[in-house]
Each structure stands twice: as C-alpha cells, then as structure tokens.
A and B are shown apart, each in its own frame.
Chain A
Amino acid sequence: MLRFILKRLLITIPTILVVITITWGLIRLAPGNFYSGEKPIPKAIENNIREKYGLNKPWYVQYGKMMGHVLVLDFGTSLKYEGQSVNGIIRRSLPVSAAIGLSAYLLALLVGITLGSLAALKQNSKLDYASMALAMVGISVPNFVLGPILVLIFSLTLYWFPPARWYGFPSRGMVLPVLTLSGIYMAYIARLTRAGMLEVLRSDYIRTARSKGLSERQVVMRHALRGGLMPVVSFTGPALAFLLTGTVVVERLFTLPGLGNYFIQASLNRDEPLIIGIVSFIAITLLLMNLVVDIAYAYLDPRIRY
C-alpha cells in the first residue's frame, strides 16, 4: 500500500509538469500581453517593461525561470496586482473557495445520498419519481441559470439572502452560492446513489442478509450502503477537488474573492505567474484527490489491493 502511494505520488510530478508546460505555451500563443491596453504604449516604455520582466530573453530562458519557480512552489509576484506574491493571493482566496466548496460538497453528499437511497428503497414510488425528476432538472439547468433564478427569488423578491459579495464564514451570504454550486452535484450524486443501491439491493448477498432475519434498516445500513455507494466514491474525489479550488462561474456570479475569480481575472490580464500558480495548485489538488479516492476504494472494498 505504501509503495502504491509513493509510486502514485511520483507519477504525479511529471503530470503536473506537463500540465504547466501546456498552460505556459497556451498563454504565450494567445495574442496580447499583460501591459498592452486599449491605447498603444510608446516603444521605449514597452522595451523597458520587457527588459524588467525578462521578456526580451529567449523563450527557453523564460521557461526555465518559470519552471524554477514551480519546482520550489513559489510562483513569484503577480504582474497585475503589483507587489502581491502569487502564493499570498492563493493563500488569501483559497479559504473563500474552500468554505463555499466544502459546504456545497457536504450538502450535495447529504441530500444526494439521502434522496438517492430513498428513491432506490422505494423504487417506482411517487418519492422515487419526484426525486429523480428533481435530479434531472438539477443536471439539466446550468449553474449560470440556477444562480440568477435563486437571486431573483430569494434576494430581490423575498430579501432573505444577499445577492452577492463575501461576508465571511459562516454567513447568510454563503447560502445562495452554496445552493447554486451544489445543485448539479446533488443531482448527480442522487442518481449515482440510486443506481448503485438498486443494483446492490437486487444482489444475492442482500437476499442472504434478509434471510438471516435482519431488519430492513440493518440490511440497508450494514449490508447495502457500502456497496451501493462505491460509484459515488469514485465521483466525489474529483468533485471535491473542483469544488475546493473554486468554481469560476459561481464566484463570478456572486463576486466572491475566491480562487476561481482570480483565475478568470488572471487569464484576462495575461497575468502569467498568477495563472501558472493557480493551475499548478488545481492540478496538484485534483491529482491528490484521485489518489485519495483510490486509497478509499482499497479501504472500502477488501477485494481491491494494490
């Protein structure tokens, strides 16, 4: 097991380097740069800027410098937010994204697993149809539609929650972003849970459990849930990584100072160090979460050994 984890961690390193190289290349290929605005700037000033940031050097020198930053996990200074280190920006914005993301994640798990299990246990009942219809809506409605609708109802009509901005954790301001963010995950988890549970509930070992005289509750909690939730486990790892590292749309929608929002700004600004920093961070988190899922699988299913 330990060998497996070490091996996986080692594989992670080249993967991240490839991701960063591609990102760096894409930034270079995109037209424009961080200092150009609507008005063209004089050639002399441009040369000074290029000199200052080392943009006049050959590409491999620039690439090497960037990689040097990545390898020590210190991504340098932002080009746009002058004087602010990239690490500082990530450190400041991550808690916002994580607070929203983790809350949305837990909510999605709680509601998704509950609804999915109930739907499976009462297959073809009204409850089953209602929750699966709801899940279908949740999957079909994109969050940039769901968000404004929620704002329209709960902020602008009912005045229950603020429509935007960050008010700290915990706060009423989190409610709408969390709901918007968790919607699709909730729906997806509900469907995965239902499908997984239905399959397990029909399996031979559940019939054995019933023939032992266990109550329906014991059959479900002790015997069915574990197998039924395996598909959910493999989905939730990457989902958690995405949620923690900020979701561009929701943070933009509710103007939250999270990682996702900075990521968009950095891309628009061609803020290379900030983009590289955030991409590296997201890539590392995603790969680690996948590793966590694999370890969890081995822990949950004794038949899987690495």
Chain B
Amino acid sequence: MPLSKMNNNGNLLEVTDLRTYFDTEDGIVKAVDGISFQLKRGETLGIVGESGSGKSVTNLSIIRLVPTPPGKIVSGKVIFDGQNLLTLSNEAVRHIRGRRIAMIFQDPMTSLNPFMKVSRQLMEMTRLHLGHTKQQAYEHAIKMLETVGIPDARARANNYPHEFSGGMRQRVMIAMALSCEPELLIADEPTTALDVTIQAQILELIKRLKQATGTSVILITHDLGIVAGMTDHLLVMYAGKIFEQAPTKELFATPGNPYTKGLLRSVPDPTAEQGELYQIPGLPPDVAHLPPGCPFAARCDRVQEICHREFPPFVQLTADHCSLCHFAHEVYEESRAEGARSSESNL
C-alpha cells in the first residue's frame, strides 16, 4: 500500500472548517458555514437535513463543483487521501473527479445527457480515466450495466436515457459512477425521485456494490429511514452548520440535540398508536439573514433566553458524539433516560 494511504488514521476524507458562501442579491448566503468531519475508508457517512440545510453544497464543495459565481468556497480544507482538494489545480481536480470521487445525483431523469447513448456516456468515463480503447470501454460499459442489474445489458447499452425507466436510469448513473472503481462515492439523494419499491432496490444495490468494492460512501438524504440501515456515522445539518454528529446507532438511540429529536419524532412509527404525526414547527431560517443566536432557536421547543442571544457551543458528549446546543448535555441525558424507560417498558 502506498504511504499516502497509510496515514491520516485511516481517514480517506477530512473536511475541516469548510465554508461555502453564495453572493446573492439578498445578501451573502452562508450555505455551508464552518463544517468539519472525517470519513474512514470503507465507511458510509450519512448527511441528513431539511432542504436548504447545505448538505448538497457541502458535497459539491468537496469536488469543487459549486457554481462560481455566485458560489465561492471561502475557507476550509478538504483533505482527500493526503491532498487538499481546495488548493489543487483545476487540472488535478479533474483527474480525481470521476476517477477517485464519483457522484450520483438526485434526479436520474435529468442527470443523464438525453442526446447521448447510454453506452457512450459510460465509455466516456473509462476512456478518460483508465485509457480504455473504444472496444475495451464498450465491453466495460456492458459489464458495469450487468453489475447494476440491467437486464439484457448488451442490447440496452445502445438505448438513449429516455428509453429507460426512472429506476433503471438511476442504475445507469450508478454504473457510470462506479465504472472507474472510485474510492469515494457521493450519493446526493439517490432515491428521492424514485418510487418507494424502487428506492429499496437502489439502496440495496449501493450497499451491495459498496461491500464488494470497499468504496467509502457519503449518502445525502432528508429521509432518516434510509440512513438508519445504510450508514456508520451521521451528520445532522441545519442552516449550513453541523448540529449533531455521532455513530448512527447512537444518534438514533440517544440524540443530543433538540433538532435531531424533532427529526426523529417526525418519522412515522407504525407500532406507536399516535394520532397526528409530529412536525417541527416553523420553517428553516433564511440563511442570508441569520439571527446572532442559535439558528434553530425560533423553532426549538426548549428554547431559553440565551439561545436567542448567543451562538451555541459544539459540545462533545462522548468520544465521537457532538452536538451544537447550549443544553446538549441535558438533552443527551434526557434521551438516555427515555431510552432506559422504553427498554424497560418493552420487557
């Protein structure tokens, strides 16, 4: 193994204090405002949050695809396998995009080029990065389409995207993203635009391919149900900030942030005989005009006077569990108490 792959404590990706701002007529929108996280090789990280919380911009920032202008990566480091992607030349970043970091996007209907045969779109990847000849690339493309479970791949390769269904198109996207065996796969809401039955198939496919290739995955979603079974670690984002960060199991069992608790309560629980489904009151804040205190204060059910006045600290609860809240410890203790009660009542 090359030396560069040995260091960084096994971290493939280290994002430090990343800030991406958008200059709009309405003022400066701090879409991503000082977030940090690490991703180990072979791990899956989930990023959860409402629309506009900055999850997609975070990942576009990692591979420097934020539309500039109006967007701009103001500061931060994105260390991928020992290299800071934010200081690399455009040329060097291009060799990483697609080859070592690949992306799958939300809407498979519009993410493939409608004017190009599917085979060509796949071949483009390996011809560019692996130096395949036309013939090699074509065979590889068919192999990839077979891998993602497209029936009769050899015949289907010569179809155009509009001749595929939504689920099949997302399979094509996955085949394309994985065709150079990237070390990191970023899946930005890969199942949001799909039917529920197809969602499960696509997630299963990503999981299976991840296990087969050892690729690290960042899974962006607003659906907590999806991340539960798929991820090792979770980030909860709100208004461009990380609100909570923990191993997935721990975050579900003992959330240390009122926002996370609210999110978890708004997932329908078929076993509970509750009447109305809980929803967090209010709307996400306008990130162009954030108040000085906690951005969630206006919607928080345990808000205190200090929350409006002072920005909350990022409190470390356990070795790998942090929460952005003035009352992180209290919330965490509450969750633990609740957890203990519910396991008692289950007995």
Spell out A's residues near B (CB within 8 Å): 124, 202-205, 207-215, 222-223, 226-227, 300-303
Counting CB contacts under 8 A, is B331 at the interface?
Answer: no
9 intermolecular pairs with C-beta atoms under 8 Å apart: A204-B110, A205-B110, A205-B111, A212-B97, A212-B125, A214-B94, A214-B124, A222-B124, A303-B114
**A235-B98 Cα distance, complex, nearest whole Å:** 37
**A212-B95 Cα distance, complex, nearest whole Å:** 9
Chain A residues lying within 8 Å of B129, measured Cβ to Cβ, are 213
Interface residue ranges of B107-163 to A (CB < 8 Å): 107, 110-116, 124-125, 128-129, 160, 162
- The count of residues in chain B whose C-beta lies closer than 8 Å to any C-beta of chain A is 29
**A223-B112 Cα distance, complex, nearest whole Å:** 10
Interface residue ranges of B55-91 to A (CB < 8 Å): 63, 65, 67, 69
Given contacts A213-B99, A213-B129, contact A208 B112 (CB under 8 A): yes
Counting CB contacts under 8 A, is B103 at the interface?
Answer: yes
**A207-B56 Cα distance, complex, nearest whole Å:** 13
Counting CB contacts under 8 A, is B102 at the interface?
Answer: yes
The reply to whether A302 and B95 contact each other, CB–CB distance below 8 Å, is: no
Interface residue ranges of B15-62 to A (CB < 8 Å): none
Chain B residues lying within 8 Å of A223, measured Cβ to Cβ, are 113, 116
Nearest 10 A-B pairs (CB), nearest first?
Answer: A213-B98, A213-B97, A204-B110, A212-B98, A302-B160, A211-B103, A205-B113, A204-B111, A213-B94, A226-B115
Chain A residues lying within 8 Å of B95, measured Cβ to Cβ, are 213
Q: Closest approach, in angstroms, between the C-beta of B185 and any C-beta of chain A?
A: 11
**Which of B98, B114, B115 meets A211, CB within 8 Å?**
B98
Counting CB contacts under 8 A, is B259 at the interface?
Answer: no
Counting CB contacts under 8 A, is B96 at the interface?
Answer: yes
**A301-B65 Cα distance, complex, nearest whole Å:** 27
Counting CB contacts under 8 A, is B238 at the interface?
Answer: no
**Closest chain B residue, CB of each to CB of A214:** B128
Given contacts A204-B105, A204-B107, A303-B162, contact A210 B97 (CB under 8 A): yes
Q: Closest approach, in angstroms, between the C-beta of B163 and any C-beta of chain A?
A: 8
Q: Closest approach, in angstroms, between the C-beta of A219 and any C-beta of chain B?
A: 10
The reply to whether B105 and A210 contact each other, CB–CB distance below 8 Å, is: no
Q: Closest approach, in angstroms, between the C-beta of A55 and any C-beta of chain B?
A: 58
**A207-B110 Cα distance, complex, nearest whole Å:** 10
**Closest chain A residue, CB of each to CB of B173:** A208
**A303-B128 Cα distance, complex, nearest whole Å:** 27
**Which of A202, A212, A302, A303 meets B124, CB within 8 Å?**
A212
Given contacts A211-B63, A214-B124, contact A205 B97 (CB under 8 A): no
Chain A residues lying within 8 Å of B103, measured Cβ to Cβ, are 208, 211
**A245-B307 Cα distance, complex, nearest whole Å:** 75
**A222-B105 Cα distance, complex, nearest whole Å:** 20
Chain A residues lying within 8 Å of B115, measured Cβ to Cβ, are 226-227, 300-302
**A212-B94 Cα distance, complex, nearest whole Å:** 8
Q: Closest approach, in angstroms, between the C-beta of A99 and any C-beta of chain B?
A: 34
Chain B residues lying within 8 Å of A209, measured Cβ to Cβ, are 113
Q: Closest approach, in angstroms, between the C-beta of A283 and any C-beta of chain B?
A: 33
**A227-B124 Cα distance, complex, nearest whole Å:** 18
The reply to whether A207 and B65 contact each other, CB–CB distance below 8 Å, is: yes
Chain B residues lying within 8 Å of A300, measured Cβ to Cβ, are 115
**A210-B125 Cα distance, complex, nearest whole Å:** 11
The reply to whether A302 and B112 contact each other, CB–CB distance below 8 Å, is: no
Chain A residues lying within 8 Å of B124, measured Cβ to Cβ, are 212, 214, 222
Chain A residues lying within 8 Å of B63, measured Cβ to Cβ, are 211
The reply to whether B102 and A211 contact each other, CB–CB distance below 8 Å, is: yes
**A300-B111 Cα distance, complex, nearest whole Å:** 19
**Closest chain B residue, CB of each to CB of A202:** B67
The reply to whether A303 and B98 contact each other, CB–CB distance below 8 Å, is: no
**A241-B111 Cα distance, complex, nearest whole Å:** 37
The reply to whether B113 and A208 contact each other, CB–CB distance below 8 Å, is: yes
A208-B103, A214-B128, A222-B124 are known; give 7 further A-B pairs, CB within 8 A: A204-B107, A204-B110, A208-B111, A211-B98, A213-B125, A213-B128, A214-B98
**Closest chain B residue, CB of each to CB of A203:** B110
**Closest chain B residue, CB of each to CB of A225:** B115
Q: Closest approach, in angstroms, between the C-beta of B240 and any C-beta of chain A?
A: 21
Chain A residues lying within 8 Å of B112, measured Cβ to Cβ, are 205, 208
**A53-B65 Cα distance, complex, nearest whole Å:** 75
**A212-B99 Cα distance, complex, nearest whole Å:** 8
The reply to whether B113 and A211 contact each other, CB–CB distance below 8 Å, is: no
**A207-B124 Cα distance, complex, nearest whole Å:** 15
**A214-B98 Cα distance, complex, nearest whole Å:** 9
The reply to whether B114 and A302 contact each other, CB–CB distance below 8 Å, is: yes
Chain B residues lying within 8 Å of A205, measured Cβ to Cβ, are 110-114
Chain A residues lying within 8 Å of B160, measured Cβ to Cβ, are 302-303
Q: Closest approach, in angstroms, between the C-beta of A298 and any C-beta of chain B?
A: 12
Chain A residues lying within 8 Å of B116, measured Cβ to Cβ, are 223
**A208-B186 Cα distance, complex, nearest whole Å:** 12
Chain A residues lying within 8 Å of B65, measured Cβ to Cβ, are 207, 210-211
**Closest chain B residue, CB of each to CB of A303:** B162
Q: Closest approach, in angstroms, between the C-beta of B67 and any C-beta of chain A?
A: 8
Chain A residues lying within 8 Å of B99, measured Cβ to Cβ, are 213
**A210-B113 Cα distance, complex, nearest whole Å:** 12
The reply to whether B162 and A208 contact each other, CB–CB distance below 8 Å, is: no
Chain A residues lying within 8 Å of B110, measured Cβ to Cβ, are 203-205
Q: Closest approach, in angstroms, between the C-beta of A181 and any C-beta of chain B?
A: 32
Q: Closest approach, in angstroms, between the C-beta of A261 and any C-beta of chain B?
A: 42
**A205-B69 Cα distance, complex, nearest whole Å:** 19
Q: Closest approach, in angstroms, between the C-beta of B141 and any C-beta of chain A?
A: 13
Q: Closest approach, in angstroms, between the C-beta of A226 and any C-beta of chain B?
A: 5
Q: Closest approach, in angstroms, between the C-beta of A306 and any C-beta of chain B?
A: 15
Q: Closest approach, in angstroms, between the C-beta of A213 and any C-beta of chain B?
A: 3
